[in-house]
Structure 1
């Protein structure tokens, strides 16, 4: 599953904020406006700005905090900060269930896969293998519990690629 596909998937899973952000949205510089800045930065490729914006928003997001944590993890993933993306998404997954847990695990697994590949490329075999093993487990859980989150099969393809790589190590 591509990084972009994961972002699109999680937005669909967790719903769109639209105009229903609640009381935080009031005012010109309110929550909604700040969220738009973060989201636009993420979609526009300014991942550093997106990360900073999401970090600030999460503390005031109330019930929207899990959604923003997932988007924050996406920003870190897209920026190539795989360890941080995996940490954020993994922590989020621990407190979620259903589709929200699946979305977080998909990000975690993708980040760990990319981190594992980077470690292997640097010759760090044991840590790379550990990341690939954890990535495979995260993606396996998503595919087993929420196969509807992989309608095009890209997540299953990523997991198959991981498993093939693990067989060679």
Structure 2
């Protein structure tokens, strides 16, 4: 990131941008998700070539703040415009967010078509993510999440 700040015209705020990024990242890591969300949203406006990375971190902050539908939307849009490992990382956040949203629906007793659609979308995102770059799942958490999704779909009579 320091090198990106040195390129002419890359990031309009230079060292100030780097300071603000560090603050946003620290807020995310410390669980201050609302602060991280606000900081990332502001940073994205001047991120230049770092915008995709900041959008991914923004989506991650939304996910951690239990704003699942927003996280899925941001990460899904990012995945749509990305390739390779960048796409896989965005799909991981999107799939996780969609799954968590479906779990919240199930917890509230909502078992209809919208919940099934979220589960299917989550599974598709995680399946593609693993196909693109399974090294992003070194401990098998995403593969395990897919198994949970399959069980939920079966329980809802929607197949697996």
TM-score (norm 1): 0.85
> Paired residue for 1:163, among 150, 155, 158?
150
Corresponding residue for residue 23 of structure 2: 37
Kept after mapping to 2: 8 A contact 1:21/1:32: no
Task: Report how far residue 21 of structure 1 moved.
Answer: 3.4
Q: C-alpha distance in 2, partners of 1:51/1:21?
A: 22
Kept after mapping to 2: 8 A contact 1:58/1:68: yes
Matches within 5 A, 1:48-67: 48-67=34-53
The reply to whether residue 121 of structure 1 matches residue 107 of structure 2 is yes
Root-mean-square deviation over aligned CA pairs:
1.2
Q: C-alpha distance in 2, partners of 1:68/1:145?
A: 21
Task: Report how far residue 153 of structure 1 moved.
Answer: 1.1
Corresponding residue for residue 3 of structure 2: 20
Kept after mapping to 1: 8 A contact 2:78/2:90: yes
Q: Which ranges of structure 1 fall in alignment gaps of 5 or more residues?
A: 1-16
Task: Report how far residue 55 of structure 1 moved.
Answer: 0.5
Corresponding residue for residue 127 of structure 2: 140
Q: Deviations over 1:3-44 (max 9, x none)?
A: xxxxxxxxxxxxxx3x223243634xx110010110011011
Aligned length: 150
Kept after mapping to 1: 8 A contact 2:40/2:57: yes
Task: Report how far residue 70 of structure 1 moved.
Answer: 0.2
Corresponding residue for residue 75 of structure 2: 89
Kept after mapping to 1: 8 A contact 2:37/2:62: yes
- Higher-RCO chain (CA-CA 8 Å, sequence separation at least 6): 1
Corresponding residue for residue 64 of structure 2: 78
Which structure has the larger Rg over C-alpha atoms? Answer: 2
Corresponding residue for residue 138 of structure 2: 151
Corresponding residue for residue 8 of structure 1: none
> Paired residue for 1:102, among 54, 65, 88?
88
